[in-house]
Each structure stands twice: as structure tokens, then as C-alpha cells.
Amino acid sequence: MTDRYILYSAVGSGGVAVEAALTLMGQPYALVEAPTFAFDAPEAGDRVLAANPLRQVPALVLPSGEVMTESAAILVRLGELHPEAGLAPRLDDPRRAAFLRWMSFVSSAIYAHYWLKDDPSRLVADASLWADVDRRIEARILECWAVMEAGAAPVGRYILGEALTVLDLYVAVVSRFRPRRQAFAAVAPRLGEVARRVDTEPRLAALWAERYPFEPGWDVRPLLT
């Protein structure tokens, strides 16, 4: 038992969505920086192995000592554990089905692609094919965002209506991954507006600045090498 959460995360990673959720929930947490995708310095990323044998962030150690991996599950569970923050529809809320559907969709249809996108050599040995693999993954990611735009049909200030939820935090962070926000907003303009709203959430200004800064060109698709 501890008095706080322990979060394994990294600057510019999906773990920042969990950091944002804990911040809005007013929950203190100890941060273990584990940049799993810094291929030049593997030792730092190895820190997360203490909590996740897949060597991925985020991983959250609950005050009970139980470990949770999987960003969507972590965010949903935090919403359940801290209902007073109002960041997730409760079990009997009519928005609950859509909430679970799209949390899971972002995780499985979109976020999961980055295991290969970040390092195509994991499945494709021929280096001359990596740029093509990358392009095809990007096309699939954008196709999935377009499906979510049509299916989730955000109509209010946020995806599920007028209240910010962890789904908005999740989309705001994952849509920052390559091909980045401009390409995302081109296929999913209403989700793009929601993401911009989350970017400007005053309670998260310090967190974004420190953990996922809006540096020049941050939203532009990088050139393929």
C-alpha cells in the first residue's frame, strides 16, 4: 500500500493522457520517466519493465500495489475510482456505451499501430520497404480517425457532449502522434476542434508545457526519411 499512484510514463507518450487525467482528478502521483521509444538510450525505457513486461508506457501502480497497463483501461478505471471528478460517464449513464466503445477504439484501432510504426523492422526485415509500411499505417490510422469522426459524431464542446471526459484527453494525446494533428484534423474536423479545446484547457497548461510541449511545427506531419 502507498498513499499515491506511481505512473510510468514518458514525455510525448500516451502516458501523458493518464498524467492529464490524474491532474484533473487532483490525484497526486509519483512519476517514473521511462522513454521506451528513445532507441539511443534504452536503459531509461527499461525502467518500465518493473511494471510492464511489454516494456510500454503507460503503466500505473495503484495505491493498493496492483499494476495496470493499457492506457484505455487505466483511464476508464481512474474514471470509476474518482467519480467526483466527473471525467467519465457512470455505469447507468446513457453515454457509457459510446464512451467504452470509443475508448477501446482509440486503443485497438489506432494506438496499437505504433508498435510497428515506431519500428517497422519489428515485422519487415527489408529496410527499403519501411517508408512504404509507414505510409500504409498512416493511411489506416487516418481512416480510423475518419470512422470515429462519423461514428462518435461529436456535437457538443466535447466528444460525448458538454462535459470533458477522459475520452477527450485520450484523443487529444493520441492525435498528436504521427501523422500529427493537421492530418488528423483534415479527416476528423470535429474531433480536431475538441482536441484543440483540450489543448487550451487552463488546468492542463502547465502539464502540456512540461510533458507534451507545443513546439514550432508540433502539429505538422513530419517528412518520411
Ligand X SMILES: N[C@@H](CCC(=O)N[C@@H](CS)C(=O)NCC(=O)O)C(=O)O
Residues of this chain that interact with ligand X (CB under 6 A) are 13-14, 36-37, 55-58, 70-72, 107, 111-112, 114-115
* Shortest Å distance, C-beta 162 to ligand X: 27
Helix, strand, coil percentages for the chain (3-state, nearest 5):
55, 10, 40
Cα gap 116→107, rounded to integer Å: 14
Q: Which is nearer to ligand X, 81 or 163 (CB)?
A: 81
Asked if the bond preceding 179 is cis, omega within 30° of 0, the reply is yes
Q: Which CB atom, from 55 or from 190, has the smaller least distance to ligand X?
A: 55
Nearer to ligand X, 56 or 165 (CB): 56
Instruction: Tell me the C-alpha distance between 133 and 116, whole Å.
Output: 9
Which CB atom, from 14 or from 192, has the smaller least distance to ligand X? 14
Question: How is the beta sheet containing 67-69 ordered, strand by strand?
Answer: 29-33, 5-9, 59-61, 67-69
Query: Least distance (Å) from ligand X to the CB of residue 184?
Result: 16
Q: How far is the CB of 60 from ligand X (least distance, A)?
A: 10
C-beta of 55: minimal distance to ligand X in Å? 6
